[in-house]
Structure 1
Amino acid sequence: MRTVLRRPDFRLLFGALLASMAAESVLLLALAIWVKDLTGSDGLAGATIFAIIAPMTLAPLVGWVVDRYRRRPFFVAANLGTAMLLTPLFAVRDRGDVWIIYVVAALYGLSYLTLSATLSGLIRQLVPSELLADANGALQTVRQGLRLGGPLAGAALYAAVGGWLLAALAMTGFVTAAVVVGTMRVAEATPPPATLRWPAELGAGLRHLAAEPALRRALLGYGLGSLVMGFSESLIFAYVDQGLGRDAAFVGVLVAVQGVGGLVGGLLSPAVVRRTGELGALAAGVTFFGPAALALAWPDLRLGVLALLLAGVSLPLTLVGLTTLIQRRTPAGLLGRVTAASEAMVSAPQAASIGAGALLVNVLDYRLLFVVVGVVTTAAGAWLWHGRRLSPPPVLPPTAPPPLVPAPRRPTERLTPGPTR
């Protein structure tokens, strides 16, 4: 990672994303807490997360718009737009204003999808192909680190200063990201005009994902694992309550443990991509979730800590493998649509599994459900690993040999032959 961080252009982008990711990490949980505070309803608070996920259905349209513009100015405009869409939160006063939070949450979900699609293309323009995994790994390391304290910091700030000031702090983060990226100098050509009718243009990203063998296998395998991974969002509460006999607040401790694993996974992910390829890294990430879930079926705290560490390692491996694969296997003019479509194809099964897990944990033993999660994710990871040859490890450019230095000339030697006697 140190190699990619030595690049001045990437360091600027890295600093900008640090500001925007910090804003994101403190904002998401605070919106749900705000709804809970105003209404007293757990269900209405949970609906805030659904409002953020719902715009994923617009992924083809979002990706098409992103591909019509140059990445850097569009990324600047999207960050400024994200800051502006938070301003309605200053009008929230009581329970009757909860709808404003839902609207802002939905618009934020749309903005998140837009920024992700734009960022993927911007990183590809700034970083050579052989360093893409390092760039994605560095960003995932920061994201996982922020997850250690970001949500708790957001909740604490909301309790201390209220939602309005928290919204102002989040706006500052997005504006900072826009200003920093605005100072970058990136050579970008204007995207060519669309050549197909708009329905074909919108579906081009999905068609590329279906036609490219490595991408197709990646999304099918990861999608299968995602169908059950979301169960753990509800199962972890049952594990703490029924298994460990502790208060629900102890979940925060386990989430912090998982965050430590995420830091380790983010640091290791570039090396895993270089040794096994993008599909290999994705397979390792999905597979690691299997034994972690199986270990949580046995209520023992020491085993649970190891399981949460392993689950934390799995997430950045999965995301770095998939993101780098998309960047390397997608033409630049399609990257926005392909990134947005892949986000939707992964998020939809996850959202469905979160809802299913919330229902199933009330009728089935949580230990049985953890076993199901472990078996399915292990099988999905093994299937992905079997196809890892579809994305071999990247070939690093050869190291240039040292320049030849002529041997020192003796005083009697001449550089050109003289007359012979």
Structure 2
Amino acid sequence: MTGWALANFADSLLTVILAVWVADLTGSAVLGGVTFAMLGLPALASPFLGHLTDRVSRRGMLVVAYMIGAAGLVPLFWVEGPTGLWLIYLGTVIYAAVSYVTGACQSGLLKDTLPGSALGRANATLSMIDQVFRVALPFLGAGIYVWSGMRPLLAAAVAAFLAAAILFASVRVQESRAEPERAPYGKALLAGFRHLFGTRPLGTLAWSLTVAMAAIGLVNGVAFAVLDHLGVPAAWLGPLTVGQGIGGLAAGVLTPRLMDRYGRVTVYATAIMLLGGSLVPMVGDSVALVVLSQPVVGLAVTSAIIAFVTERQTVTPPRLQGRVATASQVILNVPSVIMTAGAAAAIAVIDYRWLILLTVLLLLTTGLTTLRHLRRLRLPPTGTT
């Protein structure tokens, strides 16, 4: 847990600040925005990373990944101006790839070390760690950057990656053995997607989550339009994100109990519908309602992801965990990125409120559809089997 906390700190600390740094060095908001594309680029390699994770020691792969992550940031200490832009972009791609490796390895290690009944609580605890950093790091990172520049942040990230590597190198874990690979490489590479969408009820949740993340992308694309309509500065986006982090912390406490009582699929579907309802205030004119709705947004999103991840880990064989985890990362990120770009372009011709209402409709529909599918499958009421 300490190792994962350190790695989470390292791969969260620079996510926004790297783009700000590029914009400051080059004077170009466009080049700063390209940094976010660099952060998403490793998603294209996620099937390969997942396949590799299922073939080697996951603990060893984490050690190597964190050392590479630290090494990729070291050249950035010598960047002084726009001529070092290529180094920042290269370091950003390496930096972002570490989080994909962590996600793939983490799923398999949890499956190997914990009984199924403990997976939900473990995922909730990891989610709480993530939310704590989500609340604290935007303020901490921005403050250090303004007062001291980029080097202290780079040093902190490098130190955290190296500390995580040392901790994982010292831990002894009885890992499941890699099974002989009989399928052709291409088929084995896509085995995670086949399992994710072909296993019941996991497949229903995966399709539902794909739609939900695309819907969330619509909202992300109109976020600044909402703030402009409310008459508040764009800088408010940071505090609103903190409100979502507070809701995510609450989800880490509540979701395991709810899954034990009502089942993973029920909690997931209910959270998706709650998310749809929590977005309605963004259509109105009340700043107070939008602010108050943000913890509910964070609660709903985090609860849905905890329930989905726990269901995925429970029904996936140990040596398929890496590929299924990276397939999940694709559906968590790619639909949202595509729809965010589409929404940002669409608001030039469409009132943003119609896009929000479309998002609400999609979320409510997919939540209700998932619940109906649960009834047809006649799944047990608890999430432990």
> What's the TM-score bracket when you normalise by the shorter of the two chains?
over 0.9
| 2:131 pairs with one of 126, 140, 144 | 144
1:356 and 2:345 are equivalent in the alignment: no
Hey, what does 2:167 align to over in structure 1?
180
1:371 and 2:357 are equivalent in the alignment: yes
1:199 Cα shift? 1.4
Hey, what does 1:407 align to over in structure 2?
none
1:49 and 2:41 are equivalent in the alignment: no
Q: Deviations over 1:239-271 (max 9, x none)?
A: 22212x122222222222222111111211111
1:170 Cα shift? 0.4
* Aligned 8 A contact 2:281 2:289 in 1: yes
Measure, in 2, the Cα distance between the counterparts of 1:150 and 1:239: 24
**What amino acid does structure 2 have at the position aligned with 1:195?**
R
Measure, in 2, the Cα distance between the counterparts of 1:379 and 1:304: 22
1:341 and 2:327 are equivalent in the alignment: yes
Measure, in 2, the Cα distance between the counterparts of 1:383 and 1:85: 44
SS at match of 2:38: helix
| 1:36 pairs with one of 23, 27, 32 | 23
* Aligned 8 A contact 2:125 2:252 in 1: yes
* Aligned 8 A contact 2:113 2:174 in 1: no
Hey, what does 1:217 align to over in structure 2?
204
Hey, what does 1:290 align to over in structure 2?
276
* Aligned 8 A contact 1:295 1:303 in 2: yes
Distance change >3 Å, CA 210–CA 253, structure 1 → 2: closer
| 1:388 pairs with one of 367, 374, 384 | 374
Hey, what does 1:118 align to over in structure 2?
105
Measure, in 2, the Cα distance between the counterparts of 1:209 and 1:236: 31
Measure, in 2, the Cα distance between the counterparts of 1:189 and 1:256: 38
Hey, what does 1:19 align to over in structure 2?
6
* Aligned 8 A contact 1:191 1:333 in 2: yes
**What amino acid does structure 2 have at the position aligned with 1:192?**
E
Number of aligned residues: 382
Measure, in 2, the Cα distance between the counterparts of 1:309 and 1:273: 20
1:122 Cα shift? 0.8
Measure, in 2, the Cα distance between the counterparts of 1:211 and 1:261: 32
* Aligned 8 A contact 2:215 2:339 in 1: yes
Distance change >3 Å, CA 43–CA 384, structure 1 → 2: farther
SS at match of 1:231: helix
Structure 1 residues without counterparts, runs of 5 or longer? 1-13, 397-421
Q: Deviations over 1:352-381 (max 9, x none)?
A: 011112212333222222111111111112
* Aligned 8 A contact 2:209 2:331 in 1: no
1:189 Cα shift? 4.6
Q: Deviations over 1:318-369 (max 9, x none)?
A: 2111111111111111110111111112211011011112212333222222
| 1:299 pairs with one of 285, 288, 306 | 285
| 2:251 pairs with one of 265, 271, 274 | 265
1:85 and 2:72 are equivalent in the alignment: yes
Distance change >3 Å, CA 375–CA 37, structure 1 → 2: same
Structure 2 residues without counterparts, runs of 5 or longer? none
* Aligned 8 A contact 1:27 1:151 in 2: no
Measure, in 1, the Cα distance between the counterparts of 2:29 and 2:374: 42
1:199 and 2:186 are equivalent in the alignment: yes
1:106 and 2:116 are equivalent in the alignment: no
1:316 and 2:314 are equivalent in the alignment: no
> Which structure 2 residues correspond to residues 229-240 of structure 1 after superposition, within 5 A?
229-240=216-227
SS at match of 1:256: helix
Measure, in 2, the Cα distance between the counterparts of 1:279 and 1:81: 37
**What amino acid does structure 2 have at the position aligned with 1:71?**
R
Measure, in 1, the Cα distance between the counterparts of 2:355 and 2:65: 40
Distance change >3 Å, CA 381–CA 40, structure 1 → 2: farther
Q: Deviations over 1:38-82 (max 9, x none)?
A: 122222212211111122122221111111112222222222221
| 2:147 pairs with one of 133, 136, 160 | 160
Measure, in 2, the Cα distance between the counterparts of 1:195 and 1:238: 52
Measure, in 2, the Cα distance between the counterparts of 1:197 and 1:105: 33
* Aligned 8 A contact 2:138 2:238 in 1: no
Measure, in 2, the Cα distance between the counterparts of 1:388 and 1:57: 32
Measure, in 2, the Cα distance between the counterparts of 1:352 and 1:273: 31
1:279 and 2:268 are equivalent in the alignment: no
Measure, in 2, the Cα distance between the counterparts of 1:309 and 1:47: 30
Distance change >3 Å, CA 234–CA 197, structure 1 → 2: closer
Hey, what does 1:96 align to over in structure 2?
83
Measure, in 1, the Cα distance between the counterparts of 2:47 and 2:240: 36
Structure with larger Rg: 1
* Aligned 8 A contact 2:176 2:318 in 1: no
**What amino acid does structure 1 have at the position aligned with 2:344?**
A
Measure, in 2, the Cα distance between the counterparts of 1:73 and 1:94: 36
**What amino acid does structure 2 have at the position aligned with 1:61?**
F
* Aligned 8 A contact 2:263 2:384 in 1: no
**What amino acid does structure 2 have at the position aligned with 1:309?**
P
Q: TM-score, normalised by structure 2?
A: 0.94
Q: Deviations over 1:80-100 (max 9, x none)?
A: 221122222123221122122
- Give percent identity, aligned residues only: 30
Q: TM-score, normalised by structure 1?
A: 0.86
Measure, in 1, the Cα distance between the counterparts of 2:102 and 2:52: 12
**What amino acid does structure 1 have at the position aligned with 2:212?**
G
